[in-house]
Amino acid sequence: MGNKRQRISIRERILSWHKARSKGRTSGRKWNWVGMLKVATVMGLLVGVGLFLRYAEGFVRAAHAGEEGALILVEVPAWVNWDLKARVAEMAGGSRFPIQDETAEVVSRNLAPMAWLDNTSVQVTHDAVRVKAHWRKPVALIESQKGATKYYVDSDLVVLDYMPMSHLPIVEVKGMAPGLAPTPGERFDRDDLAAAVALICLLDRADAEFAPKTPLVEQIKSIDISNFKGRRQPLKPHIVLNTKSGMQIWWGAEIGEWAKHLEAKDEDKLANLYTHYMEYGLVSAEARYINVRDPRDRNYTPIDKYRK
């Protein structure tokens, strides 16, 4: 009897184990079907969202197709006049452009040959095409010997194509050695021109400190470098400034070369020049020139900090 109970017990245990296992497989199959249904639902939602976004993007592009935005020049310096702005707009391709991604590349490519601009960046917004750049300011004018061509250079000696800029104190450089000028946008790397531009920039910085209301550089008509480094007459002034009133300023050697020619220091030259300018001006019926190159016993306030 005990053996029968043991056999039944074993049989029942086997049946119970088999039923439990069958139930586990059934529930596993049910869980697999539920999981697959959930995954399919999520994938369907993702596909639907993707299709919606694609449709929305196409709708927005279609809505913007044909829309235009104005050309806006950002952070333009105060010295830039209307004519130069108009030239930039002409080079860009107009004053209005389609609001498209390709517009930024087109405008950038159009402005690339513009020598007056450097480091140009173009941004297309929802209603405008914004152009930001570094504007090259002309400081010197060079005219060919026969007067056939004119061009500017900026403080970095980059050549700029000529256009009237009567509102700026641009000094004409005369007496350059013969040679062909590079094309606009390229650097005109010459020692005599570099010396003239360096002196103009020095006067401009000194004006900001000593004569901001009546800048001396506005009284300078031209700078003569025909005797640069004494190439014509070693004992004559190497650089001469010609004023609009007809007076000459004998500057002498280029900046930094005063000691080689036993001249006054550059800071003394500058101090003597501005002392005379602020006391007497640059118009005199008696004096035809101001000689600042000769050393003097009197020492003025050094302003060497304004030299680069």
| Backbone phi and psi for residue 240, each to the nearest 5 degrees, phi listed first | -130, 130
Q: What is the pLDDT of residue 10?
A: 52
The sheet carrying 96-98 orders its strands as 96-98, 68-74, 128-135, 117-124
What's the confidence (pLDDT) of residue 6?
47
- Regions in the chain scoring below 70 on pLDDT: 1-40, 42, 44, 46-66, 147, 283-286, 297-308
Please provide the DSSP assignment of 13-44 as one string.
HHHHHHHHHHHHHHHHHHHHHHHHHHHHHHHH
The per-residue pLDDT for 147 is: 66
Predicted confidence at residue 247, as pLDDT, reads 92
- pTM tops 0.85: no
Give the C-alpha distances (Å, rounded to integers) separating 224 from 11, 170, 206, 240, 270.
122, 14, 20, 5, 18
What does the pLDDT read at residue 178?
80
Q: Which one is the CATH code of 68-135: 1.10.3470, 3.10.50, 1.10.3300, 3.10.20?
A: 3.10.20
Q: Identify the DSSP state of 183.
A: P
The residue extents of the domains of the chain are: 1-65, 68-135, 138-306
Alpha carbon distance 153, 182 (integer Å): 11
